[in-house]
Amino acid sequence: MINIGILNKGPKFNWGKNFGYWYNVKFFKNELRELGYNIEFYDDMSHKFYDSDLIIIDTRSLSDSLKNKIKRKINFNIKNEYLENINKISDFNKNIIWLDLSDSSGTTSFEVLPYVKKYVKKQFYIDKKLYRENFFRNRYYADYYQNKFSVEEKYKFDVCPLSKQFEDKLVLGWNIGVGNYFDVFNFHKSRKYYCIFNSLFNKNYKELFKYTLNYHYTTNKSQDIFYRFNLRNKDKKAAIHFQRNYVNSLLNKKYGLNGKRLDHKSYLEQLKNSKISIGAFGWGEICYREFEAIKMGAAVLFPNVDYLETWPNIYQDNFSYMSYKLDFSDFFEKIELLLNDNDLRENIVKNSQKICRNVYSDEGLNYLTKFFKDISD
């Protein structure tokens, strides 16, 4: 039996903590134990946590310290913010699995690689040589827009490149598509907190799965296009947010769409009644909005991400999503194609829903089993 301790810090009554990134592991905890992996979650770095055969620590557990929050508040440059902590932790247990929870494929903390057993991330560049490039704002797509549109003042960013000797430490994890998105159609907010209460005291995660947002699909759609973006116009990192703002301007100019904010239930209702959901990158490439669109039965139109690997992989072009080019040259063409081809749109919805459903099937359990084997070897 391999004992694996996972640091899962955060407020106890936090939906994301209990039903977000780790929900699939909690769901299959008994099955994983039968296969030889005893998984335990810890709120702090206790002696029991350190006594595990492997310990999993994520970037947010260390970067969200009060000290670092204050430094970021005053725009103090934090370099190698993890190394001091990692060195201290390795005195207690050297079998550290580093979980990079940063939003973008390009934002990394490779400086920890010499000190950890494995490095896990939600998504990677397929071509690992890209991790030896110095991209603007440490993102492939921000660099593309900076070079093409001169969005910001040009300057270089500090980045620790991926050394070839450590490439074998990289292990693909999974993205936020595994999360248990709460079903606001059938359960009120009070039921949401009742679910969390159950999870903390009964730890019956399979029972709580019934509160997951269900999968919908109807051919009778009252709306063609859905989109809602937080444009972050006041954020100085304009190259990161350029794509959202540009797509917003394109849609407003051609269709006069109103992207005002909605309450969550109205937001999901509109998604359910829309033929296509148009997405754009945020702080990173992968956003929960696309997974909500899939659950609501809208075909996803999203920037091309053929350069990434992730799981669950809903980004299979013309199969489970439709892509548009980073330069937007085929943007309207792809919109019209999806709107006019009912069969294509229906197949994309069904294929993407199947991929997401499989996370909680034998396929999902097999993926987790291989993952825990890979980080244990």
* CATH code of 41's domain: 3.40.50
Residue 159 has pLDDT above 60, yes or no: yes
Residue ranges making up the domain that contains 352 = 215-358
What percent of the chain stands above pLDDT 90?
70
pTM of the entire predicted model: 0.93
Predicted confidence (pLDDT) at residue 324 exceeds the cutoff of 80: yes
Spatial separation of the C-alpha atoms in residues 353 and 196, rounded to whole Å: 26
Q: Average pLDDT in the 328-346 region?
A: 97
Would you state the torsion angle of the CA atoms of residues 259, 262, 266, 272, taken in this order, to the nearest 10 degrees?
30
pLDDT score for 73: 61
Buried b (16+ CB within 10 A) or exposed e, 250-271: bbeeeeebebeeeeeeebbebb
Query: Do both 33 and 75 map to the same domain?
Result: yes
End-to-end CA distance of the chain: 13
Any idea how long the chain is?
377
For residue 38, give Cα distances in angstroms to 4, 53, 54, 372.
6, 10, 10, 10
Same domain, 54 and 175: yes
Look at phi and psi of residue 46 and say left if phi exceeds 0, alpha if psi is from -120 to 50, else beta.
beta
Considering only residues 72 and 316, tell me which one the structure prediction assigns the higher pLDDT: 316
- Contact partners, residue 132, CB within 8 Å, separation at least 6: 161, 162
What CATH number is attached to the domain comprising 277?
Answer: 3.40.50.2000
- Above 60 in pLDDT, residue 76? no
Residue 194 lies in a domain: no
| Same-domain check for residues 220 and 344 | yes
Q: In this structure, what token pair is assigned to residue 280? A: 């754009």
> Within this chain, do residues 79 and 220 fall inside the same structural domain, yes or no?
no
Q: Has residue 92 got a pLDDT over 70? A: yes
Do 291 and 354 share a domain, yes or no?
Answer: yes
More confident residue, 210 or 261: 210
Tell me which of 6-10, 15-19, 271-275 is least confident: 15-19
Whose CA is closest to 92, among 65, 120, 121, 57? 57
Return the ∠ at Cα 254 (arms to 250 and 256), rounded to 5°. 95
Strand partners, 3: 38
CA distance 114 to 90: 11
Same domain? For 174 and 249 the reply is no
Same domain, 331 and 366: no
- Work out the burial of residue 62: count CB atoms within 10 Å of its CB; fewer than 13 is exposed, 13-18 middle, 19 or more buried: buried
Which run of H or of E encompasses 336?
A: helix 331-340
Q: What's the domain count of the chain?
A: 2
**What DSSP letter does each residue of 90-158 carry, written as one string?**
HTT-S-EEEEE--SSSS---GGGGGG-SEEEESEEESSGGGGGS--GGG-HHHHHHHHHH--S------
